[in-house]
């Protein structure tokens, strides 16, 4: 079986699932008449929520289990097809395989920027190369696990079929995004995942906050997308093609020299594409939507807003590597934005109390790491971190979902604590995930984060400042993650008494994916061990697989640095991670009274962080109220006073001239006519007297006339 | 005893004409008006016959013409009486001064 030519089936199978669900899903899962969807745990405590009874089948929906069979099944098929295709790809000499199914936009002629004629043309085509193969494995693999998890998590929700339909649709669009062979088709997937994100954030659409969060995500993403579109159009007009292979060939041909000195057209193009990436991947200044996106169901947060969709920006920038390699100025902007986002989001995560918000800001921060890596030219490292992050962040989100599930919907960590022994599987898997993200050696996060920090330090585009920011973020990451762990699982239970009675471990459909992801979080990093360790080639498989795509020059430069420095930095980052964990343990476990005292002594700083640096308020003030409402008022005033004023003035003038004209008509023209007729009437009165209507009068006239004529002749 | 001459006839004719004309103009009853018209026509006939006699036995045109006028008068009177009856059915009157619809 030739999987390589069947890659079009990979996105198609989830699409089939989505279409099936959205068309006939309602038949399989009839909705109760009082159709207010119940969020997991938002359901009233002590009501129908019988402890442990989570595998119940809805009594009126005997076919509901089919949904849980079909939807994860389609993703599993996609995953198996992906594995087959990647396996065969690895056997090719040039690890690239392009399938063009058919032409989507057939050549429309237009003038290129240099005056030549070009054709605007886009295919419905798929490109499988090392980069997209990593992405499809992550999307389908993690996607499948999260689908399985959702079977248990969403079991009691209304709109079960709708949830799975959207989720499958999301997987379809995400696969279109990563398998597309040109920017236009990538953009189709890009917008499609944005749509699914909107639909799933607003899944509990009867909740105003969820509906608002969905709109916010959609609108903030539009800002970034406008940059992406402009970047694409610029690329079209300068390079004349949107196909990845053509773009790369053209940029490598030497026709466009690297813009080392100034900021030219390529830099602008790269910057516009990066603006698109900041929207989708939640970077400063467009990160504000991601924390609010936690209003969606937790599996959605795990799949879309942690593991896959938000990394689309990272993928897109890595895909545009030939462009970014020629534009050091933009690359520096990418690195700075990435580093700034990383530390900024981590600082907010330090003090948040909502378990999912901590993880949301953690995601923003880790995405910042990825952009830092992209900015310093370490493209494969960014993708490596994307890969490991997909495991441990999906794991952490699913664990938090499991915690929330067991606590009947409680998300505030101040009302948790002491859950360690009550939900042991969740605890153990989350423990692995937290160690992994903190950068403890031999777990996934350690390898990828350490490689990013090393690249930030040693790469020609990197600098010590970026490294310092990175290592500070690493310390904060360890601290906030273990603050979360200690608040949730250790210490005295602060759970509300009415919730306490219902605490239970989640069903197997949820714990099995957790276990698999925990294994992934522990082991995934071994594909990318540092070169320094001199392990067999297989342990550096990730670099060997991806790095050739981005040019082999990096490896040689790296070797020039002393190995002592690398060992030293690695040790330092491990120490810092352990210090962060220890500090969290000291503050939140050993001496739980201290945080309140610190909070009191640095009140303003705490408030600043707790309120997320007031960025939402600032945006509200500047854009929503300032530009939006103020501009609206200004436009309204302009419309009312100037545009309407002109119309009204013209109307008044017309009416005035009409009244003058009417006066003239009534009194002068009609007056003359009436006067004429009046005179005629006056003249007619004497004549009227003669016409008596009596025949004898007329006869008299005749006689008199005859007599007159006779008289005239006789007397003449 | 003076012989009867043409002038006598003409005087009679003129008298009849005068009587007829005055009758037409002054009488209110339409039947009388018609009778007055007959007087006028007969005045004409007398004129025609008188001149026919005055021009000698060879000239009978005047007498022939008088016969035509008599026939004509008969026809005219028949028509006029028909109109008069139709008028009476509508207006219930034969008084000429009450029939004055045709005016402004």
The pLDDT tens digits for A52-75 are 334 444 455 677 788 888 899 999
The minimum CA-CA distance between B98 and chain A, rounded to whole Å, is: 8
- Which has the higher per-residue pLDDT, B23 or A40? B23
The minimum CA-CA distance between A670 and chain B, rounded to whole Å, is: 26
CA closest to B101 among chain A residues:
A693
CB-hemisphere CA count at 13 Å for A428?
10
| Residue whose token pair is 């669900």 | A21
pLDDT digits (tens, 9 = 90+) for A323-340: 998 898 999 999 999 999
Give the mean model confidence (pLDDT) for residues B84-101: 88
Contacts of A643 (CB under 8 A, 6+ apart): none
A38 has pLDDT over 50: no
Chain A residue numbers with beta carbons less than 8 Å from the beta carbon of B103 are 691-693
Partner-chain contact A699 B102, CB within 8 Å:
no
Interface test with A, best of B18, B23, B97 (most A CBs within 10 A): B97
Maximum pairwise Cα distance, chain B: 59
Contacts of A65 (CB under 8 A, 6+ apart): A57
CA-CA-CA-CA dihedral for A249, A253, A256, A260, to nearest 10: 100
Partner-chain contact B96 A696, CB within 8 Å:
yes
The minimum CA-CA distance between B99 and chain A, rounded to whole Å, is: 6
Taken in order A104, A107, A110, A113, the sign of the CA dihedral is positive
What confidence tier does A160 reach under pLDDT thresholds 50, 70, 90?
Answer: confident
Integer Cα distance of A223 and A287 in angstroms:
11
By DSSP bridging, strand A97-111 and strand A117-128 are antiparallel
B77 in contact with A, Cβ within 8 Å:
no
CA closest to B23 among chain A residues:
A696
How high is the pLDDT of residue A156? 80
Integer Cα distance of A129 and A7 in angstroms:
12
Give the mean model confidence (pLDDT) for residues B71-86: 94
Partner-chain contact B103 A699, CB within 8 Å:
no
A144 has pLDDT over 80: yes
**Cα angle A433, A434, A438; round to 5:** 120
pLDDT digits (tens, 9 = 90+) for A277-302: 999 999 988 999 999 999 889 999 99
- Which has the higher per-residue pLDDT, A663 or A115? A663
Integer distance in angstroms from the first to the last C-alpha of chain A?
Answer: 141
Partner-chain contact B25 A692, CB within 8 Å:
no
Question: A469 with A343: CB under 8 angstroms?
Answer: yes
How high is the pLDDT of residue A31? 66
Partner-chain contact A691 B104, CB within 8 Å:
yes
Using CB atoms within 10 Å of the CB of residue A563, give its burial: 0 to 12 exposed, 13 to 18 middle, 19+ buried.
Answer: exposed
Integer Cα distance of A317 and A313 in angstroms:
6
pLDDT digits (tens, 9 = 90+) for A406-444: 888 888 888 888 888 889 999 999 999 999 999 888 899
How high is the pLDDT of residue A59? 53
Partner-chain contact B96 A695, CB within 8 Å:
yes
Q: What is the three-class DSSP state of A122?
A: strand
Mean pLDDT, all residues of chain A: 87
Chain B residue numbers with beta carbons less than 8 Å from the beta carbon of A698 are none
Chain B residue numbers with beta carbons less than 8 Å from the beta carbon of A710 are none
CB-hemisphere CA count at 13 Å for B2?
5
Between chain A and chain B, how many beta carbons pairs sit less than 8 Å apart?
28
How high is the pLDDT of residue A669? 94
Closest C-alpha to A580, from A475, A485, A481 = A475
pTM: 0.76
Integer Cα distance of A692 and B100 in angstroms:
7
A403 has pLDDT over 70: yes
Question: A488 with A426: CB under 8 angstroms?
Answer: no
Residue from the list A691, A693, A700 with its beta carbon closest to the beta carbon of B25:
A700
Integer Cα distance of A56 and A276 in angstroms:
44
Partner-chain contact B99 A695, CB within 8 Å:
yes
How high is the pLDDT of residue A707? 93
How high is the pLDDT of residue A48? 36
Partner-chain contact B97 A696, CB within 8 Å:
yes
Residue from the list B21, B24, B100 with its beta carbon closest to the beta carbon of A694:
B100
C-alpha to C-alpha distances, A654 to A3, A650, A660, nearest whole angstrom: 76, 6, 10
Q: What is the three-class DSSP state of B29?
A: strand
Residue from the list B25, B26, B103 with its beta carbon closest to the beta carbon of A693:
B103
Partner-chain contact B25 A694, CB within 8 Å:
no
Partner-chain contact A696 B102, CB within 8 Å:
no
**Cα angle A130, A136, A139; round to 5:** 140
Partner-chain contact B100 A692, CB within 8 Å:
yes
A683 in contact with B, Cβ within 8 Å:
no
Partner-chain contact A696 B25, CB within 8 Å:
yes
Interface test with B, best of A683, A687, A692, A696 (most B CBs within 10 A): A696
Contacts of B53 (CB under 8 A, 6+ apart): B6, B62
Residue from the list A688, A694, A703 with its beta carbon closest to the beta carbon of B97:
A694
How high is the pLDDT of residue A33? 47
Least confident of A94-98, A371-375, A393-397, A552-556: A552-556
Count Cβ neighbours within 10 Å for each residue of A668-701 and write b for 16 or more, e otherwise. eeeeeeeeeeeeeeeeeeeeeeeeeebbbbeeee
Partner-chain contact B24 A691, CB within 8 Å:
no
In chain A, % of residues over pLDDT 90:
51
Q: Which helix (H) or strand (E) holds B71?
A: helix B61-91
How far is C-alpha A85 from the geometric centre of its chain's CA atoms? 28
- Which has the higher per-residue pLDDT, A235 or A32? A235
Chain A residue numbers with beta carbons less than 8 Å from the beta carbon of B100 are 692-694
φ and ψ of A127, to 5 deg: -125, 120
What confidence tier does B23 reach under pLDDT thresholds 50, 70, 90?
Answer: very high
pLDDT digits (tens, 9 = 90+) for A517-568: 999 999 888 888 887 787 888 888 888 888 888 875 454 455 555 677 888 8
Predicted ipTM? 0.88
Question: A359 with A306: CB under 8 angstroms?
Answer: yes
Question: A270 with A327: CB under 8 angstroms?
Answer: yes
How high is the pLDDT of residue A32? 60
Partner-chain contact B97 A703, CB within 8 Å:
no
Integer Cα distance of A278 and A281 in angstroms:
5
A132 has pLDDT over 90: yes
| Residue whose token pair is 């005893």 | B1
Helix A464-489 with A444-458: angle, nearest 10 deg:
160
Chain B residue numbers with beta carbons less than 8 Å from the beta carbon of A703 are 21, 25
How high is the pLDDT of residue A283? 92
B21 in contact with A, Cβ within 8 Å:
yes
pLDDT digits (tens, 9 = 90+) for A444-462: 999 999 989 988 988 888 8
Tokens (6 digits) for A198: 């909107």
Chain B residue numbers with beta carbons less than 8 Å from the beta carbon of A693 are 99-103
How high is the pLDDT of residue A52? 38
Chain A residue numbers with beta carbons less than 8 Å from the beta carbon of B102 are 691, 693
Chain B residue numbers with beta carbons less than 8 Å from the beta carbon of A694 are 96-97, 99-100
pLDDT digits (tens, 9 = 90+) for A497-524: 888 888 888 888 899 999 999 999 998 8
Give the mean model confidence (pLDDT) for residues A167-185: 94
Chain B residue numbers with beta carbons less than 8 Å from the beta carbon of A691 are 102-104
Residue from the list B24, B97, B103 with its beta carbon closest to the beta carbon of A691:
B103
CA closest to B27 among chain A residues:
A696
A109 has pLDDT over 90: no
CA closest to A701 among chain B residues:
B25
């Amino acid at each position: 079986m030739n999987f390589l030519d069947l890659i079009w089936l990979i996105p198609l199978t989830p699409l089939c699932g989505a279409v099936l669900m959205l068309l006939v899903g309602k038949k399989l899962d009839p909705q109760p008449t009082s159709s207010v969807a119940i969020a997991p745990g938002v359901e009233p405590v002590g009501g129908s929520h019988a402890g442990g009874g989570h595998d119940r089948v809805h009594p009126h929906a005997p076919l509901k289990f089919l949904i849980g069979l079909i939807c994860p099944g389609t993703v599993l098929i996609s995953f198996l097809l992906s594995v087959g295709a990647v396996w065969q790809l690895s056997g090719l000499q040039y690890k690239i395989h392009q399938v063009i199914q058919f032409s989507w936009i057939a050549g429309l002629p237009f003038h290129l920027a240099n005056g030549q004629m070009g054709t605007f043309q886009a295919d419905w085509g798929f490109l499988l190369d090392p980069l997209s193969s990593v992405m499809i494995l992550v999307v389908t693999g993690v996607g499948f696990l999260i689908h399985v998890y959702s079977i248990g998590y969403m079991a009691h929700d209304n709109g079960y079929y709708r949830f799975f339909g959207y989720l499958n649709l999301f997987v379809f669009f995400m696969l279109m995004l990563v398998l597309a062979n040109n920017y236009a088709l990538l953009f189709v997937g890009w917008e499609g995942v944005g749509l699914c994100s909107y639909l799933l954030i607003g899944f509990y659409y009867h909740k105003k906050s969820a509906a608002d969060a969905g709109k916010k995500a959609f609108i903030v993403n539009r800002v970034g997308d406008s940059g992406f579109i402009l970047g694409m159009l610029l690329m079209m007009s300068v390079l004349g093609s949107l196909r990845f292979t053509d773009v790369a060939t053209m940029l490598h041909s030497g026709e466009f020299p690297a813009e080392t000195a100034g900021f030219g057209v390529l830099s602008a193009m790269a910057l516009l594409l990066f603006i698109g990436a900041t929207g989708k991947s939640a970077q400063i200044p467009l990160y504000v939507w991601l924390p609010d996106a936690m209003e969606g169901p937790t599996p959605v947060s795990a799949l879309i807003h942690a593991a896959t969709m938000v990394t689309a920006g990272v993928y897109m920038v890595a895909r545009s590597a030939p462009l970014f390699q020629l534009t050091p100025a933009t690359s520096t902007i990418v690195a700075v934005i990435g580093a700034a986002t990383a530390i900024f989001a981590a600082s907010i995560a330090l003090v948040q109390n909502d378990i999912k918000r901590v993880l949301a800001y953690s995601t923003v921060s880790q995405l910042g790491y990825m952009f830092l890596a992209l900015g310093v030219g370490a493209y494969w490292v960014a993708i490596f971190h994307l890969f490991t992050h997909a495991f441990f962040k999906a794991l952490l989100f699913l664990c938090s979902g499991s915690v929330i599930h067991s606590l009947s919907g409680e998300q505030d960590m101040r009302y948790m604590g002491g859950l360690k022994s009550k939900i042991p599987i969740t605890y153990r898997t989350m423990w692995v995930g937290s160690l992994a993200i903190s950068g403890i050696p031999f777990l996934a996060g350690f390898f990828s984060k350490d490689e990013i920090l090393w690249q930030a330090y040693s790469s020609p585009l990197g600098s010590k400042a970026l490294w310092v920011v990175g290592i500070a973020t690493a310390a904060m990451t360890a601290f906030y993650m273990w603050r979360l762990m200690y608040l949730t699982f250790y210490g005295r239970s602060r759970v509300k008494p009415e919730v306490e009675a219902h605490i239970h471990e989640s069903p197997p459909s949820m714990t099995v994916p957790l276990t698999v992801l925990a294994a992934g979080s522990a082991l995934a990093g071994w594909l990318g061990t540092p070169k320094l360790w001199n392990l067999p080639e297989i342990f550096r498989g990730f670099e060997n697989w991806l790095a050739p795509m981005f040019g082999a020059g990096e490896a040689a430069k790296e070797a020039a640095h002393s190995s002592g420095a690398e060992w030293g930095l690695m040790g330092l980052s491990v120490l810092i991670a352990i210090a962060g964990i220890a500090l969290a343990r000291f503050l939140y476990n050993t001496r739980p009274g201290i945080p309140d005292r610190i909070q009191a002594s640095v009140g303003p700083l705490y408030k600043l962080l707790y309120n997320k640096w007031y960025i939402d308020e600032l945006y509200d003030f500047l854009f929503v109220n300032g530009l939006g409402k103020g501009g609206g008022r200004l436009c309204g005033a302009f419309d009312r006073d100037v545009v309407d004023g002109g119309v009204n003035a013209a109307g008044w003038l017309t009416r005035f001239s009409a009244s003058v004209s009417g006066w003239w008509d009534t009194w002068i023209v009609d007056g003359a006519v009436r006067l004429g007729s009046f005179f005629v009437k006056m003249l007619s009165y004497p004549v009227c007297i003669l016409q008596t209507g009596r025949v004898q009068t007329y006869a008299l006239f005749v006689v008199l006339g005859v007599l007159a004529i006779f008289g005239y002749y006789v007397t003449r | 005893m003076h012989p009867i001459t043409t002038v006598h006839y003409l005087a009679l004719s003129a008298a009849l004409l005068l009587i007829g004309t005055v009758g037409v103009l002054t009488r209110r009853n339409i039947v009388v008006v018609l009778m007055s018209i007959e007087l006028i026509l007969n005045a004409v006939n007398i004129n025609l016959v008188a001149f026919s006699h005055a021009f000698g036995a060879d000239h009978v045109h005047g007498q022939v013409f008088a016969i035509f006028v008599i026939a004509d008068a008969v026809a005219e009177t028949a028509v006029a009486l028909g109109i008069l009856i139709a008028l009476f059915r509508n207006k219930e009157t034969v008084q000429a001064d009450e029939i004055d619809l045709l005016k402004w």
